[in-house]
Amino acid sequence: MKEFQRSVWLGWCFTVIAGTLLHFLYAWTQENRIVGLYSAISESTWEHLKLLFFPSLAYTIWEYLWIGHRYPGYVLRRFQGTVLGMLTILALFYTYTGICGTNFLPADILVFLLGTTVTARYTWRNFQRCTPKRDWIGVLLFAAVAVCFGICSLWPPRFGIFLAP
């Protein structure tokens, strides 16, 4: 149990660092379209959700191989935590920018850290409530969201969350 708790918070650190690097990776690779499938290619809120999603997905794969396979339904719980973290980012970002009328970099960073924290905390608090034999649902949902990120990065809709603030 202590090992899993340590792993979840190690995942938090990994997600924060990898997510921060993903913010700049597209520019560093001179706008490589393949890199743009999983890193932020614009300042839209949708693109910034990738900064949580893809590091969380990568860590989920690694953690599953290391320790998560011992917990039935682990992948589904990690997916739920990741989505909850992304919803936290959306709610906090749109609430504070709605109140202030603009966004501020320190607040944006704090929102990302809080979203990442919600993901880790949810995973830690709920990993023992995993439903047996539901990992395949988590795998499918992670894959579906990853595909959605790719499609909407290549052909972004022209409204709301997909537009730069």
3-45 pLDDT, tens digit per residue, is 878 888 899 999 999 999 999 999 999 999 899 999 999 989 9
pTM of the model: 0.92
Task: State the residue range of the domain holding 123.
Answer: 2-162
At residue 152, the pLDDT reads: 92
More confident residue, 159 or 22: 22
19-23, long-range: CB < 8 A, 24+ apart: 19/51, 19/52, 19/54, 19/55, 19/112, 19/116, 20/51, 22/50, 22/51, 22/54, 22/55, 23/48, 23/51
Residues 156/148, Cβ–Cβ less than 8 Å: no
* Predicted pLDDT at 124: 85
127 vs 75, higher pLDDT: 75
What is the rounded distance in angstroms from the CA atom of residue 90 to the CA atom of residue 80? 15
Total number of domains constituting the chain: 1
